[in-house]
Amino acid sequence: MSTVPSLIDIKGIRDGLLVKLGDSAWPTLQVALIDAIDERRSFFTGARLALDVGGQVLHVAELVTLREMLSERGIFLWAVLSSSSATEQTAQNLGLATRISKPRPSQVQHAPDAVMDAIALWLPRTLRSGTLVEFPGHVTVMGDVNPGAEIVASGSIVVWGRLRGVVHAGAQGDLNAVVCALELTPTQLRIASEIAVSPKRKGKVQPEIARLKDGILVAEPWQV
C-alpha cells in the first residue's frame, strides 16, 4: 500500500474493505480518500467499504456527499465507525451500520456494573422503522418507538410515548435494567438475557414498567 497516503489506511476484512482515516480536517481526508481510490480504480470498483473516521463529527450532508461520491465510483459504503456518538447517530439515521461483525473492544469493556447513571442518550423524536440505536448507557426517547425500530442499551430504556418496536435493556447483562413506556406494547422486549413478547391486552392503556423479578420478566403499572 505504498502508493496510499499515510492519512488513509486500507485493509481487507471479511466483509470487504476497512478504511481507517488519520487525524486531519474532514475536507482534506475526503480528498485524500477519493484520490487514493481514483489512483487504483480497478482495485476499488465493486468493493464494500467500511469507514473508520475516528473521532470526526460528521453531519448528514457530509456523509451523503461521500456516499454519493463513492457510489459514483462503484463502491458501496455500508458502515461508518466512529468514536463520536454524534457521528454514529448520523450514520445510523442514514441506514449505515456502525459496527463491523463483532462489537468494538471499547463496547465490550463495559461490565454490567459500569453503567453509570450519568451516561444517558436523549432522543427527543420518534424512532421510525429501520432505526437502530445502540448505546452503552441509558436511553430516553421522547416520542414513539415504531415497529421495526430497535434500541439496544446497556442500561435502562425510558420511552415517553408508545413503545412498539424491539428493545433490549441491560444488553451487557445488567439484571437491574428496566424498560418503561407510556404504552408498553413492544414487538419484543429483552432485559439482559430474558426475552418476552407483549401479551394481547384489552382495556385502558396505562404507563407500565418492565423489569426482572427472580429471573422472570414482569410488567406492572408505572408509578413513581
Partner 1 sequence: MTAKVLTIASGKGGVGKTTAVANIGVALAARGHKVICVDSDIGLRNLDVVMGLENRIVYDLVDVVEGRCRLRQAMIRDKRVPELYLIPAAQTRDKSAVSPSDMIHLCNELRPECDWVLIDSPAGIERGFHNAIAGADKIIVMTNPEMSAVRDADRVIGLVEAEEKGTPVLVINRLNSAMVKRGEMISVEDVLDLLAIKLLGIVPEDENVLVASNKGVPLALDGKSKAGLAFQNIARRLLGEEVPFLDLESQGLWQRLLGRK
Taking alpha carbons only, the member of 199, 202, 207, 143 closest to residue 180 is 207
Q: What is the nearest approach in angstroms of partner 1 to the Cβ of residue 66?
A: 12
Q: What is the nearest approach in angstroms of partner 1 to the Cβ of residue 188?
A: 15
Count of beta carbons in the 10 Å neighbourhood of residue 158? 21
Q: Which residues bind partner 1 (CB under 8 A)?
A: 60-61, 64, 68, 71-72, 93-95, 126-131, 144, 146-148, 164
Name the 3-class secondary structure at 28.
Answer: helix
C-alpha to C-alpha distance for 109 and 123, rounded to whole angstroms: 24
Determine the distance from the C-alpha atom of residue 203 to the mean position of all C-alpha atoms in its chain, rounded to a whole number.
35
Q: Which is nearer to partner 1, 10 or 63 (CB)?
A: 63
Answer whether 137's CB lies under 8 Å from 158's CB: no
C-alpha to C-alpha distance for 131 and 125, rounded to whole angstroms: 12
Q: Which is nearer to partner 1, 93 or 107 (CB)?
A: 93
Q: What is the nearest approach in angstroms of partner 1 to the Cβ of residue 82?
A: 16
Q: What is the nearest approach in angstroms of partner 1 to the Cβ of residue 110?
A: 27
Q: What is the nearest approach in angstroms of partner 1 to the Cβ of residue 18?
A: 23
Q: What is the nearest approach in angstroms of partner 1 to the Cβ of residue 199?
A: 15
Answer whether 49's CB lies under 8 Å from 71's CB: no
Q: Helix H segments across the chain? A: 26-39, 41-44, 60-72, 85-93, 105-108
C-alpha to C-alpha distance for 52 and 44, rounded to whole angstroms: 17
Strand partners of residue 187 = none
Name the DSSP letter for residue 126: P
